Structure 1
Amino acid sequence: MTLDGRLLSNVSVLAAVVEGGSFANAATALGLTPSGVSRSIARLEARIGVRLFDRTTRSLNLTDEGRLLYANINPLVLGIEDAVTTASGASGAVRGRLRVNTDAFTSRLLLAPHLPRFVALYPELTLELIAREQLGDLVAEGFDIAVRFGEPPSSSLVARKLMDSRVITVATPAYLERHGRPARPADLATHACLQVRNPVTGQPYTWEFHRGRKQLTVPTTGRLLLSDPGTVLTTTLAGICVAQIKAVGIQPQLDSGELVDLFPDWPDERLPIYALYPSRHLPAAKVRAFIDFVMSVIVPGPTPAPARAPKPVKPTKPVKPKAKPAR
């Protein structure tokens, strides 16, 4: 198939439709009419001989062939944009719109407090941070990147592991003063344990404890079943229960003593966090910038030790000059 300017133009229209979610939004972004966008897609479909979209009056979805084509051409379109930006000598290569797919825990407890810093760093970038229970289809839904806990599904996505976070069991000092501190995981049977809903099964997560190769599963009970991570943290800080939470999201509360790690001798239950993106080529500048931002949030650099005051110098006694020998 011969590569020409019209083919490249039609491919860029395809990318705009996927990112915008409709022909009308693509038309606005590209400065075209909706009918002009429709004609470009029709020409592209005729050129390659397959239907790219399933269209109804209420929905627009990529076909399997359209999803495959977009997954392959989108990195190239982004690469062209990066190359043009770099060649133009523009002051900021990180620009445009960045769509991020994540879970509520990452969005609320990890990223939200730091987002003002990120948007201040890149004034030409528009960020869409979408929190949802399931990963979904990044390509079909026009996401640039996902940041998710847990092992990634088997797919064509690039998966970059960012870190492992401990899963720890915590309570407030006030709760422990009223109810006593459990000496071992099995003691949790007599405590009020906050249950968290697993979005996949709809059931509460199982409480596990890991130490080296040893693993315990401890039955727990509690009258609260929650799903929102912000509500989980707020409820735990209210001092009415014990909870299991990923340590990376509550480090400030651990450092301040608001929450106590009950079983530091069971340190090995861990959950990985991954960045997932569609391209196996070099990711776009905005994607690389976001990964660097997430890394700075979840793996902060060491805090420099406060400078110590110099030790006072003891005054020295004056030394009497030695008498010169007589010549």
Structure 2
Amino acid sequence: MALDGRLLSNVSVLAAVVDSGSFAKAADALGVTPSGVSRAIARLEARIGVRLLDRTTRSLGLTDEGRELYASINPLVLGIEDAVTRASGSAGAVQGRLRVNVDAFTSRLLLAPHIHRFVERHPDLSLELIARDQLGDLVGEGFDIALRFGTPPASSLVARKLIETRVATVAAPGYLARHGRPAKPAELARHVCIQVRDPLTGQPFAWEFRRGRKAIEVPTAGRLLLTDPGTILGACVAGAGIAQIKALGIQELLDAGQLVDLFPDWPDERFSLHVLYPSRHLPAAKVRAFIGFVEELLAPRAAG
């Protein structure tokens, strides 16, 4: 027997009749007329093929078949009501489980140092922060929200730009003391450059520089081919070579003098950070809370 909305509705009417003890009281509880309740029970009996209620002008009772059906469906109806109550509560309460899909840079350099504050702020919420190379199927894989750099994919997902950051070319003072500072991007060909693997091709990303409408690509070389942003940053700070990395995650190191921005006059190789989630309609409170936290985290950081 196929399950449809009308069958579920009729079953819930039966549960209301049994719980209240009369058609009239069930009608009041459901906000319908007594005749509407009677028709729903008649449709359910016709659908199943047995009489479920023995009713006279003075009494109402379940038949044996009705009693067996009610015993089976009542826990399910209560479970549905409980689930709806919990779901409606999520519109205003930050609770349950939040699954966040992020790239490794965002996870390691932007969120990790601060995410404990979000968890402490919402004691009824558990957070799953999943770092992966590709966005994948956000809905199909059960994610509530994603944070991703670059152009959002063409899809039904809601995408909102949070901030824009430039790609900085940086080196540690110790590296520059040993090898000298390149005066222009073309001189990188003579330096040790930390390579970053493109997960789509398996090859190193090209090094690009943009200033206004001018764009150049510079060939670089180095014996280190890395993937993890934390490892890239750690190796660069240790003086292993020159690296390209989003300025958003390294501003503190630049301010502290642990890294030197080599070409601030080439500021226009940029990436935007977007938040993506499945629906614009009534996002859960936990989703809104996480977006607000990320915006709060990014607010003091310049988009340069």
Question: What is the CA-CA distance between 1:2 and the residue it aligns to?
Answer: 4.3
Write the deviation string for residues 83-103 of structure 1: whole angstroms up to 9, x where unpaired: 4356xxxxx711110000111
SS at match of 2:295: helix
In the alignment, structure 1 residue 84 sits paired with structure 2 residue 89 = yes
Q: Are 1:169 and 2:173 matched, yes or no?
A: no
The residue that corresponds to 2:135 in the other structure is 135
Contact 1:79–1:284 at 8 Å: present in 2 too? Answer: no
Report the structure number with the largest CA radius of gyration: 2
Is 1:226 paired with 2:226?
A: yes
Distance 1:270 1:3 in 2: 54
Distance between the aligned counterparts of 1:253 and 1:286, measured in 2?
32
How many Å apart are 1:240 and its aligned residue? 2.0
**Alignment CA distance shift 1:85-1:225 (3 Å):** closer
Task: After the TM superposition, list the runs of 4 or more consecutive aligned residues in structure 1 that deviate by more than 3 angstroms.
Answer: 1-9, 78-86
For 1:107, the aligned partner's letter is S
Provide the C-alpha distance between the structure 2 equivalents of 1:166 and 1:203, rounded to a whole number of angstroms: 22
> Aligned pair count?
230
Please name the residue that 1:94 is paired with.
94
- Tell me whether 1:276 sits opposite 2:269 in the alignment: no
Q: Counterpart of 1:186 in 2: which secondary structure? A: helix
- Assess if the C-alpha contact under 8 Å between 1:97 and 1:125 holds in 2: yes
Q: What residue in structure 2 maps to residue 184 of structure 1?
A: 184
Q: TM-score, normalised by structure 1?
A: 0.66
- What per-residue deviation string (whole Å, max 9, x for no partner) do you get for residues 167-198 of structure 1? 01000111111111111000111100000001
Distance 1:188 1:85 in 2: 53
Q: Taking structure 1 as reference, are residues 83 and 197 closer, same or farther at Cα in structure 2, changes over 3 Å only?
A: same
Q: Gapped runs of 5+ residues in structure 1?
A: 10-77, 87-91, 303-327
- Compared CA separation, residues 221 and 256, structure 1 to 2 (3 A): same
Post-superposition offset of 1:6 = 6.3
Query: Is it true that 1:286 corresponds to 2:286 in the alignment?
Result: yes
The equivalent residue for 2:238 is: 238
Identity of aligned residues (%): 66
In the alignment, the residues of structure 1 paired with residue 118 and residue 285 of structure 2 have an alpha-carbon distance, to the nearest angstrom, of 14
Alpha-carbon contact 1:82-1:93 (below 8 Å) kept: no
Conservation of the 8 A alpha-carbon contact between 2:90 and 2:286 = no
**Contact 1:82–1:285 at 8 Å: present in 2 too?**
no
Q: 1:5 to 1:210 in 2, by over 3 A?
A: same
